[in-house]
Amino acid sequence: MFDVLPASSPAMDPAVTAALITTPTTLVAAAAAYAAGSAQGRASVDAVRRQQQREVYAAFLTVARRHKADIIEALAQAEGIRLARAAGEPLRPEEEEQRRQAIAATAGANPSEEPAALVFLEGPDDLAYAALLIVQHAKTTCQLLTATPEHVGTMSRLHGRPMEVHDEFRRLDGAIHRFTLDAQAHLNGTALRHRRHRMRLMRRVWPVEP
C-alpha cells in the first residue's frame, strides 16, 4: 500500500539529514555573530564621535568663558568712566581714551563665532541652539557696551527695544551655563533626567528672561 523510499534516497541520506538539522543553527549563529560585530562597530564609531563632540564643546566653552571674562573687564572700564562723570570729576582725556580703546577692542572681537560653527556641525540641535544663544548675547552685550560706555547701567535702545547691558550680560552668563549643562547631559547620556534639573538651576542663575 505504501511505497518505501529507497535507502539511497536523499531523504534518508544521513549526511543530508544532518545538514538539514544543523543548517538553521549555523545560520542563527552566523547572524548573531554578524549582529554582535555590527553593534560593536557602531559602538566604536559612537565612541569616536562622542570624543570628537567632547573636544568641540570644550573648545567652544573655553573661548566663550574667556570672552565673558574680557567683557567683565570692559564693563569695569565703562563703569569707571560713568562713575567719574557722575562724580563731576571726569577722567583725564588720555586715561578715558585708553579705557574706550580697551572697551572697543573687546567689543570688536567675536571669538565665539568660529567654534560655535563647529558645534553646529557636530550637533545635536539643542546644543547648536544653546551655542547660538551665547553668540547672540555676547554680541548684543558688546553692542550695548560700546553704544554709550559713559552711561553703562542705563537703558539703551537696540533692535527697537530698550535694553540694559548688565541684563544682557546676565543672559550671556546664563546661556554659557545652559550650554555647559546640556553638553554634560548629552555626553553622559543623561538628557532626559537632566531637563528638570536644568530648569530648576536656570531659574536661579538666569533670573532675566531671554
**Residues 163-183, mean pLDDT to the nearest whole number:** 90
Report the candidate in 51, 169, 70 with the shortest Cα–Cα distance to residue 111. 70
91 vs 131, which has greater pLDDT?
A: 131
* pLDDT value of residue 81: 87
* pLDDT value of residue 174: 93
- Over residues 61-114, the pLDDT tens digits come to 999 999 999 999 999 998 888 888 888 888 899 998 899 899 989 988 889 999
Between CA 128 and CA 119 the distance in angstroms is 6
* pLDDT value of residue 194: 54
Do residues 205 and 174 touch, judged by C-beta distance below 8 A?
Answer: yes
**pLDDT of 136 above 60:** yes
Grid cell listed for 84: 567719574
Between CA 147 and CA 129 the distance in angstroms is 27
Between CA 210 and CA 208 the distance in angstroms is 6
**pLDDT of 197 above 70:** no
- Over residues 34-46, the pLDDT tens digits come to 555 555 656 566 7
Output the pTM of the full model: 0.68
Grid cell listed for 17: 539529514
Grid cell listed for 25: 543553527
Between CA 134 and CA 85 the distance in angstroms is 32
**Residues 21-33, mean pLDDT to the nearest whole number:** 55
- Three-state secondary structure call for residue 65: helix
Query: Highest mean pLDDT: which of 3-7, 59-63, 86-90, 203-207?
Result: 59-63
